[in-house]
């Protein structure tokens, strides 16, 4: 099974199991971390260095955490819009299932859809099952 996981904060195998209800032992995971600027001003003035650095840390830490649990995982940085990041990743990684970890209500940035809205958009666009979970923001 090939899983595409989109997350803006590092997650563990436990987090992933909680959202998916479990993974088969042969799971192959691609972690995509959207490079979100977290503010409209930073987005519009193209101040993306911090966003790219954070996304790189998130995907790297998540790949390490999942790898330590024996899950075959690779990672990449995606577009600041989670939908676009997922769409782009699916062009090279044909997933069987999409897992989206979004920030909890009140912690989302201006580019993050409500998780249910994002799930509906993904289900309308792709045939893959979509699982949605939330996580607390780890930075200000």
Residue 27 CA to its chain's centroid (Å): 17
- Which tokens is 106 given? 């009140």
78: in domain: yes
Print the domain residue range for 33.
2-135
Compute the residue count for the chain.
140
Q: Do 99 and 6 touch, CB atoms closer than 8 A? A: yes
Is there a domain that residue 140 lies in? no
Q: What is the CATH number of the domain that holds 56?
A: 3.40.50.620
Query: Is 80 exceeded by the pLDDT of residue 106?
Result: no
pTM confidence score: 0.83
Q: For 6-47, how does the pLDDT look when each residue is reduced to its tens digit (9 = 90+)?
A: 998 899 999 999 899 988 888 999 999 998 765 554 555 455
Name beta bridge partners: 129.
none
Q: How many domains does the chain have?
A: 1
Tens-place pLDDT, residues 47-94:
577 888 989 999 999 999 999 999 999 999 999 888 899 999 999 999
- Is residue 36, in this structure, part of any structural domain at all? yes
In which element (H, E) is residue 72 found? Answer: strand 72-78
Chain center to CA of 117: 15
């Amino acid at each position: 099974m090939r899983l595409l996981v989109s997350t803006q904060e590092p997650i563990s195998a436990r987090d992933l199991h909680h959202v998916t209800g479990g993974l088969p032992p042969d799971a192959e995971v691609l972690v995509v971390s959207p490079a979100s600027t977290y503010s409209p001003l930073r987005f519009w003035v193209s101040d993306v260095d911090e966003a790219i650095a954070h996304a790189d840390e998130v995907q790297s830490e998540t790949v390490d955490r999942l790898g330590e649990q024996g899950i075959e995982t690779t990672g990449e940085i995606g577009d600041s819009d989670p939908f676009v990041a997922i769409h782009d990743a699916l062009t090279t990684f044909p997933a069987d299932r999409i897992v989206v970890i979004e920030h909890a209500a009140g912690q989302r940035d201006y580019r993050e859809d409500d998780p249910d809205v994002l799930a509906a958009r993904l289900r309308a666009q792709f045939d893959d099952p979509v699982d949605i979970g939330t996580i607390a923001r780890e930075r200000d």
